Amino acid sequence: MSFILMKVLITILVLMSLQMCTQIKKSENSPKMENSTTKNNPYYSRTDRTKLNVPNSEWEKILSPEVYAIAREADTERPFTGKYNEFDELGEYYCIVCGNHLFRSDSKFSSTCGWPSFFEADKEGVAYHRDTKFGMERIEVVCKRCDSHLGHVFNDGPPPTGTRYCMNSVSLEFVGDSESK
Ligand SMILES: [Zn+2]
């Protein structure tokens, strides 16, 4: 009788440890969607467009200092230094902070201003704020989902829109068509 009881106990223990193993494996395999400039970012998603309301004190822990300074404190990268300034691969541009879709490479044009420029944005991707800093009247472009600073928009762009989205490379994350397939 006690032998049977022991057998049952051992079987239960083995089953429990197996269950634990599969649980550990599951969490290891869950996609993290991390990119090179963010640490463990639980807010990052390329599909969820729900508005985020995350304080800067939290973003500061997640983002690299460079991304934090530009995306959250509206700093500007030096002209002609951004990795997407002279860059013409086919693909999609996302917000580096939250993964929201912002631009398609079709709307990128070579501008001489020193920053990556687009004549059209994803309407669901961006929002606008009036910016009067430095005594200038400008329109700031932010990510519609996480409110991160992307750059400014001007009305001296090429056809068909005449609009120039002047963006910081640091705020963008490019995913090439070949990578996403
Ligand atoms: Zn964003």
For the chain, what is the mean pLDDT? 87
Question: What's the gap in Å between 104 CA and the centre of ligand 1?
Answer: 15
Measured CA to CA, the distance from residue 75 to residue 66 in angstroms comes to 9
Q: Tokens for 49?
A: 């467009």
Per-residue pLDDT at 10 exceeds 90: no
Check residue 24 and give its pLDDT: 41
Measured CA to CA, the distance from residue 102 to residue 94 in angstroms comes to 5
In the sheet that holds 164-167, the strands lie side by side as 108-109, 117-118, 164-167, 149-154, 138-143, 126-131
pLDDT in tens, 49-93: 999 999 999 999 999 999 999 999 999 999 999 999 999 999 999
Q: End-to-end CA distance of the chain, in Å?
A: 60
DSSP assignment of 50-116, as one string? PPP---HHHHHHHB-HHHIIIIIT---PPTT-STTTT---SEEEEETTT--EEEEGGGEE--SSSS-
pLDDT in tens, 129-150: 999 999 999 999 999 999 999 9
Check residue 179 and give its pLDDT: 87
Measured CA to CA, the distance from residue 76 to residue 93 in angstroms comes to 18
The domain segmentation of the chain, as residue ranges, is 38-176
Question: What's the gap in Å between 4 CA and the centre of ligand 1?
Answer: 60
Q: What is the pTM of this model?
A: 0.79
Indicate which residues carry an active-site annotation: 166
Measured CA to CA, the distance from residue 13 to residue 8 in angstroms comes to 9
Range with the poorest average pLDDT among 11-15, 121-125, 133-137, 161-165: 11-15
Question: What's the gap in Å between 66 CA and the centre of ligand 1?
Answer: 15
Question: What's the gap in Å between 94 CA and the centre of ligand 1?
Answer: 8
Q: Which residue has the tokens 């929201």?
A: 100
Overall size of the chain counted in residues: 181
More confident residue, 152 or 39: 152
Q: Which residues keep their CB under 5 angstroms from ion ligand 1?
A: 95, 97-98, 100, 143, 145-146, 148
| pLDDT band at residue 23 under the 50/70/90 scheme | very low
| pLDDT band at residue 180 under the 50/70/90 scheme | confident
pLDDT in tens, 105-133: 999 999 889 999 999 999 999 999 999 99
Measured CA to CA, the distance from residue 80 to residue 113 in angstroms comes to 8
Per-residue pLDDT at 6 exceeds 80: no
Question: What stretch of H or E contains 7?
Answer: helix 2-29
Check residue 40 and give its pLDDT: 87
User: Which residues does 153 contact at the CB level (< 8 Å), separation at least 6?
Assistant: 128, 139, 141, 163, 164, 165, 166
CATH 3.30.70.1450 at 38-176, yes or no: no
